[in-house]
Structure 1
Amino acid sequence: MKKKIAVIHPEAGFSSSGGSQLSAYEMAEHLAAFFDVRLISSSKCSEHSVVIPCIPRGKVKKLQRNKTMDWLLTRFVSNPSLLIESITSFLTYTPYLICKRADVVYPNNDYGGLAVAAVIRKLFKTPILYTERAGMVSNGKVLRRNLKFKPDCLVVFNQETKDYVKEIAPTQRVEIIPNGVNLSLFSPQGARYEHGLEGKVVLTVGALNRQNHKRIQLAIEAVSKLNDVSLLICGDGPDVAYFTDLCEGKLGSDRYRIVKVDFADIPNVYRSVDAFTLPSEDEPFGRVYLEAMASGLPVIATDDAMRRTLVGNAGNVCDVTNIDEYAAALAATLSTDWEDKPTTQAADYSWQSVAEQYAKVINSL
């Protein structure tokens, strides 16, 4: 009889703008080869979905686009969307898991899911598996908070994070397993998105929010230094107008597009361009780089240990805050024949391989 695994993420199926909900969906799909998997979420997104009502963070973020509502919601808490999701999902997901017991609970939505899992473990001794997707962002602030829940196994993405965990919580079990990419979905073969841009086209993706760590403005600045190169921005957020004005001033109306597409169309977007870049300040992992490489694209990324490992010989890393250096890296990448290096690099991170590693951990629990 297969073990029952409860994967938790309220946002899965509601939006596709975050790595954690996409990873929860993919993980549920691929763990189903080994276990009886239920993906507990607020929206139907797969055959493994169990829809339990709550208010996911994406719904709150939509409300926050109204300045008055944003002022009210942020009056007493810095991240109301996550707090509201956590409270409402705790109130509905906990009773469900009390009635429909699992052998392992695998929350993917930060402290909200961990709180649910902690109650279930207290009642039934059900082990908790947790992947820390924030890594060392903000000097490990989120990581330290989530360690207080003492998951039975904590999964991290690199040795640096594992070393930090063992330093502050020596008895915590920690395993290193990378994120995965769906190689059947992201590949060089298939339909292409019609963006209407001429010449070489560079793609970047991310939430259009000046306050986050994605730093899309650096990509705009760097592309503006090049001739006959256009920028395709795929994303949405509260600062669309700001980024539109910046592109108009730096690139002109013919050298950029800002588009919002459904997740199902994202592979077509990757296949429609010549290179991918994301100049984010920090990335706990960087799923989008894998998606781009799996689609055959070379990558230009921020120079740090994680992205040097991810990109390998399938692109270039540089100091993206030095706009001239960033622009030179873009130009060098666009003028190089990368052959099959990007797809070869991405193949090491297939979801099938990642799911097998998780299955070994789950069976050990």
Structure 2
Amino acid sequence: MNKTIKVYLACTGVGIINRGIETFARECFNGLHSTEGLQIELFKGAGDEKLDEHRLWNLPRNGKLAPFLGKFIRRNRYVVEQLSSFIPFVSHIKKGKPDIIFYSDSNLGFQLYWWRKQIGIPYQLLFSNGGPCNPPFTRTDYVQQVAPFYRELALKAGEPPSKHFLVPYGINVPDGDPLLNHEERQNIKQQLGLPSDRPIAISVGWISATHKRMDYVVDEVAALPEPRPYLVMLGYMDANSPPIIDLASQKLGKDGFTARSVPYEQVAKYYQAADIFVLGSLKEGFGRVYLEAMIHGLPCIVNDHPVMRYVLAEQGIFADLSKSGAMSQALADLLERSQSVDNRIERREFVRKNFSWQSLAPSYLQMFHDCLAHNINV
């Protein structure tokens, strides 16, 4: 493996929104940028131009034009954002001639597949299936499956094993232990406007009733007797969010919760202030938020699903969250037990061993080399 591989990592949402695939793209670039034998460049939708980071012109999904144009093509604003970045991206591809285009935005990938001959660069397309999408995967060359569950689904559907690589999402794990003394945590709570005299349960994800099921989380926390934990909900907020906030106001009281959308780099402070992580979703493509929570030593209450079992392993607290009362019972049981310092350290070390970029960089480099093992005639 002597050849230096040039990889273009494209994600239009970087700098625009902080979902799982955007934070993965940001950290993937940072984590692999200094890897020997790899030249990786990031193409993002917004933010400053830096070394090997390029801003693609686009119509951002949170702007005024994207939803307007989406009505004409009968697609959503996210698709408009991806399609609008295609021509600007092509100019970079023709100039830089990448070996591999690594992406999570499927609609951008479709265009790169359909127009590859006209573009004239024999790049390989590697789709990172963190969404996830279901088979067949006919409009890409290779697929990064981030959990065994989805690779197995693809193979059962008849997909060739050589097309699907099992390489999990990586994450940046800080040095040292996730330990703050009592005074430090109290200071952080004060900075964030959080109560200092109650346990804090945090849930990170889209603040809506769909997928992340924040309404379920509110109901389950509200089912606990006083003094119940203070609930922090962090994530993307849109037209689906006000009903969740109204529900929380009714059931928890205005002094019983916080719902905010904050920049990704500020989320760590909330994890440091929290005692427990909870997520109401019944399934996930991977669930990077579980790793984020464990990096800060938090116990995680999650649905019992093969993907969550893969990511959290023996560190998770699993319950059937499709049932009313399941999360509240798990919370009550956890609150009765004291959390040891050793447990918090063990959770961060679990993430470091299994999902840090230092641990996973060789697997990513091998995946890129395997993508180039077979040439495509374009």
TM-score by length of 2: 0.84
Paired with 1:330 and 1:101, the residues of 2 have a C-alpha distance of 52
Match of 2:16 among 14, 17, 24: 14
Matched, 1:92 2:88: yes
Matched, 1:124 2:115: no
Matched, 1:346 2:337: no
Paired with 2:333 and 2:193, the residues of 1 have a C-alpha distance of 23
Paired with 1:221 and 1:102, the residues of 2 have a C-alpha distance of 49
> 2:218 is matched with which residue?
220
> 1:208 is matched with which residue?
207
Paired with 1:349 and 1:157, the residues of 2 have a C-alpha distance of 11
Structure 1 residue 325: deviation in Å? 2.1
| 1:124 counterpart SS class | coil
Matched, 1:183 2:173: yes
- Which letter maps to 2:164? V
Paired with 1:261 and 1:254, the residues of 2 have a C-alpha distance of 19
> 2:234 is matched with which residue?
234
**Between 125-134 and 275-284, the greater mean CA deviation after superposition:** 125-134
Between the two proteins, the alignment pairs up a number of residues equal to 347
| 2:134 counterpart SS class | helix
Match of 1:357 among 348, 363, 368: 363
> 2:198 is matched with which residue?
199
Matched, 1:312 2:340: no
- TM-superposition CA deviations, 1:175-225 (whole Å, max 9, x none): 111112211289625773523224111001112233x31100111011111
Paired with 2:108 and 2:177, the residues of 1 have a C-alpha distance of 34
- TM-superposition CA deviations, 1:115-151 (whole Å, max 9, x none): 225534772322222211123xxxxxx3336x12131
Report 1:260-279 matches (<5 A): 260-279=261-280
> 1:138 is matched with which residue?
none
Q: Mark the CA change 1:102 to 1:265 in structure 2 (over 3 Å): closer, same or farther.
A: same
Whether the 8 Å contact between 1:85 and 1:112 is mirrored in structure 2 is no
Q: Mark the CA change 1:28 to 1:134 in structure 2 (over 3 Å): closer, same or farther.
A: same
- Which letter maps to 2:346? K
Paired with 2:333 and 2:314, the residues of 1 have a C-alpha distance of 13
Paired with 1:220 and 1:267, the residues of 2 have a C-alpha distance of 22
Structure 1 residue 170: deviation in Å? 3.6
Whether the 8 Å contact between 1:9 and 1:113 is mirrored in structure 2 is no
Paired with 1:13 and 1:286, the residues of 2 have a C-alpha distance of 20
Report 1:270-349 matches (<5 A): 270-336=271-337, 337-338=339-340, 339=343, 340-347=345-352, 348-349=354-355
- Which letter maps to 1:181? I
Match of 1:43 among 36, 42, 46: 46
> 1:111 is matched with which residue?
107
Paired with 1:186 and 1:179, the residues of 2 have a C-alpha distance of 21
Structure 1 residue 341: deviation in Å? 3.4
Paired with 2:312 and 2:257, the residues of 1 have a C-alpha distance of 25
- Which letter maps to 1:217? D
> 1:154 is matched with which residue?
143
Q: Mark the CA change 1:39 to 1:117 in structure 2 (over 3 Å): closer, same or farther.
A: farther
Paired with 1:121 and 1:256, the residues of 2 have a C-alpha distance of 54
Whether the 8 Å contact between 1:3 and 1:36 is mirrored in structure 2 is yes
Structure 1 residue 278: deviation in Å? 0.7
Structure 1 residue 63: deviation in Å? 7.0
Structure 1 residue 84: deviation in Å? 0.5
| 1:261 counterpart SS class | coil
Paired with 2:13 and 2:358, the residues of 1 have a C-alpha distance of 23
| 1:57 counterpart SS class | coil
| 1:312 counterpart SS class | helix
> 2:163 is matched with which residue?
173
| 1:5 counterpart SS class | strand
Q: Find runs of 4+ consecutive structure 1 residues off by over 6 angstroms.
A: none
> 1:139 is matched with which residue?
none
Whether the 8 Å contact between 1:203 and 1:275 is mirrored in structure 2 is yes
Paired with 1:29 and 1:54, the residues of 2 have a C-alpha distance of 23
Whether the 8 Å contact between 1:107 and 1:114 is mirrored in structure 2 is no
| 2:277 counterpart SS class | strand
Instruction: List alignment gaps of at least 5 residues for structure 2.
Output: 373-378
| 2:243 counterpart SS class | helix
RMSD of aligned C-alpha atoms?
2.5
Structure 1 residue 238: deviation in Å? 1.7
- Which letter maps to 2:173? L
Paired with 1:85 and 1:188, the residues of 2 have a C-alpha distance of 38
> 2:375 is matched with which residue?
none
